[in-house]
Amino acid sequence: MSDTPRLVLVDDHGLFRSGVRAELGRQVEVVGEADDVQPAIELISRLLPDVVLLDVHLPGGGGQAVIQAIKAEHPEVRFLALSASDAPEDVIAVIRAGARGYVTKTISTTELADAIRRVAAGDAVFSHRLAGFVLDAFAAAPAADVKPSFDPELEQLTSREREVLRLIAQGYTYKEIARELFISVKTVESHVSSVLRKLQLSTRHQLTRWAAERRLA
Amino acid sequence: MAAGIAAWRGFSPTTVRIVFVLCTLVSAGWGLPLYVLAWLFIPAAGAEANIFSKARNDYRGIRLAVGLASLLIFVLLVASALNAGWFVNWAWPQVFSVAGLALIWRNGADEDQATLRHLLEPLGAAADGVRPNRRSAWRLVIAGALMAGGLAWLFSARASLALLRPLGGVLLVIAAIVLALGPWWLRIARDLALERQAKARAEERVDIAARVHDSVLQTLALIQRRADDPQKVIQLARMQERELRSWLFEGRSLEEADAELTVAAGVRKIQEDVESRYGVPVEAVTVGDCDLDDNLEALLAAAGEATVNAAKWSGASVVSLFAEVEPGEVSIVVRDRGKGFDPEAVPADRKGLAESVHGRMARRGGTAVVTSAPGEGTKVTLKMPRSPVTASRS
C-alpha cells in the first residue's frame, strides 16, 4: 500500500465534500465522490478505494446500507464513518455494519488525515465520543443482558481496553496513550481493534437493540 | 335564529327564545321541532332564500334525514316496548327535530354547519357508514335479524310474563345496536385520533420554525456582523452547535437541561459556561449518569474550577472533560494540551485555585491529582466516592 491512501467521499453535502477534498490536499488521494447510497455503491465497486469516508446520514438510506452492499463482495474496502450526529444508535449501527471507525465532522484536518491513514492500514479509529458510547454500552453488569451460550469474552471489555477507551475519551492520541500506559502504539492499536471486534460481534442487549432498531440484526 | 323570528314578527330575540323554551317544556318536547322547522323555513338575516328551498334539491340530505328519523322511530318503538313512558312522550317530536337538523346541516350556511357539526358528528359518520357495500349490508342484515329476534322475544315475554325471557330479549337488542353502530363509533374514534395527530404535527412544525428562528437565524445574523472577529465567530458557531445538538439528539432545550440535577447535566453546564465565557471549545464525554448529592456537587464544582483554569491559563485550543459514573465512585478528568506548569513552582497567588480544588475534594472524602509539566499540558483527575443512597438509585 502506498503512503497516500485512495479515498472515496460519500456525503450528501456538496459543500462539505469540496471542503474535505481541498483540506486533505496531498495527504490522501480523493479518487471519487458520491452523494447517495446507490451512486456510492456503484462508484465504490468500480474504483475499489482503500478507504471510504462515509456520512452516516444519507437521503437514500443510512450509511450502513452502503457498507453492507460493499462488504458482501469487496471485504477489503474499509470504511470510516463520519457524522455530525452524536446519537449513539446511529454511530453504533454503522460500526456494527462494519465501519472501522467513527469521527465527528468537527474533527481537525490533520486528525482526519491521520484517521484515514490508520483505517487504510487496517486499524480502528475511535473518536472521543465513540469511546464514551462504547464505555457506556459495556458499562452495565454483563451477565444479565447477554444471550447465553455465547462467547463470554466478547461481552465485556478487559480492564486494559477500558483504560485505553477512557484515555481516548479524554482526548489522548494513540501515541499519548502509549506513553501514559507504558505500552507501544502497536499495542494500543491492537486494544482498539479488539474493542471494535467486540463491538461488532457482541450480543449484548444494548447493542443488539440498537442494531435491531436500525434493521441490522 | 331567534333573531330571525324576532325580525320577522317584530319581537325582541330574547322574548322569542323564552317563549320557545316555555313551549318546549309545556308541550312535552314539541317546541324543539318547531324551532328547527322555523330555522329551516325562515331565511337568515341577509340571506335571500331559506334553507328549505335549498334542501328540497338535496336528495342525499333528504335520504339522510328520512333515514335518521326512521332509526329514531325504531329506537322509540323499542323504548315504548320497555315502557319508558315519559321518555317516549318527550322523544317522539324529536324525530322531526333530527330530520330537520340533518337538512339544515347539509344545506345551511357555514356558521349553521359549525354549530351543528359537534352535535351531528356521530351521525354524520353513520351516514358514511351506510354506503351499500357488501360488508355493511351483511352487518345490517345480521343486526336486523338480532333486532327482530329480540323484539319478538320481548313481545312474547309480555304475554307469558316469564321473567328471564325479557332479559334475553334486551340483550339481543343491545347486541343488535352494537353490531349496527359499532363501526360508526370506531370510525368516530379513529377520526378524532387522526385529527389530534394532525394538530400535534402542526404544532411541532410551528415549534421548530420558532426555534430555528430564535436560535439558528439569530446566530447566523450575529456571525455575519462579527465576520472580522474569528474568535467570536467560532464561539458563536460552537454555542449554536451545542444548542442544536442538545435539542436534536437529546430532545431537550438548554433551559430544561439546567433544571436537571444529574452528573451528565452538570458536566454539560460546565461545558456551556466555559465555552461561552472563554471561547475555548470543551470536548465533554460522560459515561453513565446518576443523580447529584452534596458530594457530587462538590465534585462538579471542583471540575468546573479545573476546566475554567485550563481554558484561562493553558493556552490550549481545546479542553477535554471526561466524566465516568461507576457503581462505587464518580471520576472526572479535565485535560488540556496547553503549556502546562511545574506543580512545585506555582506562584503563591495562584495556589489558591489549586487549593480550592484540592480542599473541596478532600473535605468530602474525594481525591484530586494534578499532573503537569511545562510544555506537557495539564491533567486534573478528580474522584469522589458515591454515597450508598445515590449508588443504589442508579
- CA pair distance B123, B117, nearest whole angstrom: 10
Cell 332564500 appears where?
A: B49
Please, which pLDDT band fits residue B53 given cuts at 50, 70 and 90?
low
Give residue B382's pLDDT. 92
Q: How many domains, chain A? A: 1
Higher per-residue pLDDT: A141 or B373 = B373
Give residue B94's pLDDT. 66
Cβ-contact A195, A78 below 8 angstroms: no
Residue B285 exposed, middle or buried by CB count within 10 Å (0-12, 13-18, 19+): buried
Q: Is the ipTM of this complex over 0.95?
A: no
Contact pairs from chain A to chain B, CB under 8 Å: 43
Mark yes or no for CB contact A132/B320 under 8 Å: no
| Mean pLDDT score across all residues of chain B | 72
- Residue A1, in any domain of the structure: no
All residues of chain B having their beta carbon less than 8 Å from the beta carbon of residue A166 are 322, 324, 333
Give residue B318's pLDDT. 87
Q: Is B90 on the interface with A (CB under 8 A)?
A: no
Which of these, B326, B307, B318, lies nearest to B384 by C-alpha position? Answer: B326
- Residue A29, in any domain of the structure: yes
Higher per-residue pLDDT: A213 or B366 = B366
Domain spans of chain B, in order of start:
2-202, 252-393
Give residue A217's pLDDT. 35
Give residue B233's pLDDT. 83
- Whether the pLDDT of residue B124 is over 50: the answer is no
Higher per-residue pLDDT: B189 or A148 = B189
Give residue A191's pLDDT. 92
Residue B253 C-alpha cell reads as 432545550
H-run or E-run covering B216: none
Please, which pLDDT band fits residue B321 given cuts at 50, 70 and 90?
very high
Q: Where are the beta strands (DSSP E) in chain B?
A: 282-287, 319-325, 329-336, 367-372, 378-385
Give residue A50's pLDDT. 92
Q: Is B383 on the interface with A (CB under 8 A)?
A: no
- Whether the pLDDT of residue B178 is over 90: the answer is no
- With both helix axes pointing from N to C terminus, report the angle between B13-26 and B2-9 in degrees, rounded to the nearest 10: 110
Mean pLDDT value across residues B25-38: 61
- Whether the pLDDT of residue B49 is over 60: the answer is no
- Whether the pLDDT of residue B119 is over 70: the answer is no
- Residue A142, in any domain of the structure: yes
Give residue A134's pLDDT. 85
Residue B290 C-alpha cell reads as 446518576
Sign of CA dihedral A74, A80, A81, A83: negative
Mark yes or no for CB contact A139/B287 under 8 Å: yes
Q: A111-117: long-range contacts at Cβ-Cβ below 8 A with a sequence spacing of 24 or more?
A: A112/A20, A112/A23, A112/A24, A113/A24, A113/A27, A113/A28, A115/A80, A116/A5, A116/A7, A116/A24, A116/A27, A116/A28, A116/A51, A116/A53, A116/A80, A117/A5, A117/A27, A117/A28
- Whether the pLDDT of residue B210 is over 80: the answer is no
Give residue B339's pLDDT. 84
- CA pair distance B270, B311, nearest whole angstrom: 11
Mean pLDDT value across residues B30-45: 61
DSSP character at residue B43: P
- Whether the pLDDT of residue B367 is over 80: the answer is yes
Please, which pLDDT band fits residue B323 given cuts at 50, 70 and 90?
very high
Higher per-residue pLDDT: B51 or A71 = A71
% of residues, chain B, pLDDT over 90? 4
Residues linked to residue B382 through DSSP beta bridges, in sequence order: B332, B368
Mark yes or no for CB contact A171/B286 under 8 Å: no
Give contacts of B 241-300 with A, CB under 8 A. 241, 245, 248-249, 283, 285-288
- CA pair distance B369, B362, nearest whole angstrom: 11
Cβ-contact B32, B93 below 8 angstroms: yes
- CA pair distance B149, B151, nearest whole angstrom: 5
Q: Is A22 on the interface with B (CB under 8 A)?
A: no
Give residue B35's pLDDT. 66
- CA pair distance B50, B40, nearest whole angstrom: 7
Give residue B393's pLDDT. 45
Give residue B243's pLDDT. 78
Q: How far is B194 from chain A (nearest CA, A)?
A: 26
H-run or E-run covering B318: none
- Residue A92, in any domain of the structure: yes
Give residue B39's pLDDT. 65
Ranges B44-53, B292-301, B340-349, most confident: B292-301
β-pairing, A125-126 vs A101-104, is parallel
The fold for domain B252-393 equals Heat Shock Protein 90 (3.30.565)
All residues of chain A having their beta carbon less than 8 Å from the beta carbon of residue B322 are 128, 132, 166, 169-171
Could you tell me the residue range of the domain that residue A142 belongs to? 6-213
Which of these, B241, B290, B231, lies nearest to B266 by C-alpha position? Answer: B290
Which of these, A85, A96, A5, lies nearest to A53 by C-alpha position? Answer: A5
Which of these, B285, B220, B338, lies nearest to A104 by C-alpha position? Answer: B285
Which of these, B387, B342, B385, lies nearest to B362 by C-alpha position? Answer: B385
Instruction: Name which of A87, A106, A132 is nearest B287 (Cβ-Cβ).
Output: A132
Residue B31 C-alpha cell reads as 317546541
List, run by run, the mean pLDDT of 10-residue segments along chain A (217 residues).
Answer: 80 85 85 89 91 85 84 89 75 86 83 89 86 80 51 76 91 89 92 88 68 49
β-pairing, A51-55 vs A78-83, is parallel
Which of these, A115, A118, A119, A161, lies nearest to A138 by C-alpha position? Answer: A161
Residue A192's SS3 state is helix
Ramachandran class of B337: left when φ > 0, alpha when ψ lies in -120 to 50, beta otherwise = alpha
CATH code at position A113: 3.40.50.2300
Buried b (16+ CB within 10 A) or exposed e, B229-251: eeeebbbbebbbbbbbebbeeee
- CA pair distance A126, A198, nearest whole angstrom: 14
All residues of chain A having their beta carbon less than 8 Å from the beta carbon of residue B333 are 166, 170
Residue B217 exposed, middle or buried by CB count within 10 Å (0-12, 13-18, 19+): exposed
Mean pLDDT value across residues B121-125: 50
